[in-house]
Amino acid sequence: MPANKKVLLLHTGGTLGMHNLLPITVKRSRADLARDLYTNVPELRALADIDVAVLMNKDSSSMRVSDWKEIGDAIRRGYNKYDGFVVVHGTDTMVFTAAALSFMFKGLSKPVVLTGSQRPLVEIRSDARRNLINSVDLAASGAICEVVIFFDSAVLRGNRAIKASIEEFAAFDSPNWPWLAKVGMEITIQRRFLLARRGCSMKYSHGFDPGVLFLKYFPSMDLAPFIDALASHLFRGVVIEAYGAGNLPSDDGSYLEFLRVAQDKKIPVVIVSQAKQGSVRLDLYETGAVSLKRGAIGGCDITSEAAIVKMMKLLHDRVPYRGFKKAFLTPISGEISCYISASSSRRRPPR
């Protein structure tokens, strides 16, 4: 790889930059972080010319919409200067940030790679060193020009990823879309699963409306307490995690009233699945059809996290209620596919 490739590394916090797993309360300087990087991973110098920016030092559970904007703004400012970008991020909300960035940037012609680690970089048995080396390599290569997560050996589309493990180094997976690449002795890219490059210029839009109600349905759940909140417009959109293919009790009066109020107040309701693999089909059973008849939108194979972030994006963009279903089911950056069978072997990630 040519040494003159330029990569911007944006540090936002997380385990990678910690010392002895203690939370960092003082913002680290760019020089401190750069010294740690090059001391523990001297190979980075051979991969690219790296500039380091410490945007924040947050546990990712504290991430907010304003932080997504700060990350996006930094990428936008450096877009013409750098060949690729690496975002160091905590694992807990990495998939939310990845989804947000994928919706903020349309027409990317450069890689944006999110990574982190399960153990701090300064520890001997850390996974941070490998993750950093491969993330910088990917960012400098220009081979995958979309927002991705790299962890362990997997390159995943950011808005398709889920956090799969709290303890394993292979912390993320992509159950409903194949890995974009697998890193071993070689980097094996599955080009047929990458986003198509359309030759259009990059467009950046950063707004999100956090007024989304997320509900994970369980047996005997009473939705009555949420009906007044809908009627008062305390929430502007709803995402419900249902059973299986989108099934919810068709004889539950509180649920039916919840849907009626949402429809009356023109509040979009998207239904996703508690299952990690497969696609929501509201027309498959009566317990799904009752939602469909009352205006709910089946979320196909989108993850719960991406559904929440996409809902936030569309609400901010003031997509009208009448056009919300079409907008939600239209991919922005490969986050949803309603046209692939849930049983298709193409969904299985390569191992």
Alpha helices in the chain (DSSP H): 30-40, 44-47, 65-77, 94-104, 128-141, 224-231, 253-264, 286-293, 304-316, 321-329
In angstroms, the CA 222 to CA 214 distance is 14
Q: Which of 56, 68, 60 is nearest to 100 (CA)?
A: 68
**Is 97 marked active-site?**
no
Q: Which two tokens stand for residue 218?
A: 């369980």
Q: Which of 66, 192, 47 is nearest to 130 (CA)?
A: 47
CA angle 329, 334, 337 (to 5 degrees): 45
How far out from the chain centre does Cα 92 lie?
11
In angstroms, the CA 319 to CA 321 distance is 7
* Rounded alpha-carbon distances, angstroms, from residue 200 to 51, 106, 139: 27, 9, 20
In angstroms, the CA 122 to CA 85 distance is 22
The answer to whether the CB of 191 falls within 8 A of the CB of 171 is no
Q: Select which of 12, 15, 93, 287 is catalytic.
A: 15
Q: Which residues are catalytic?
A: 15
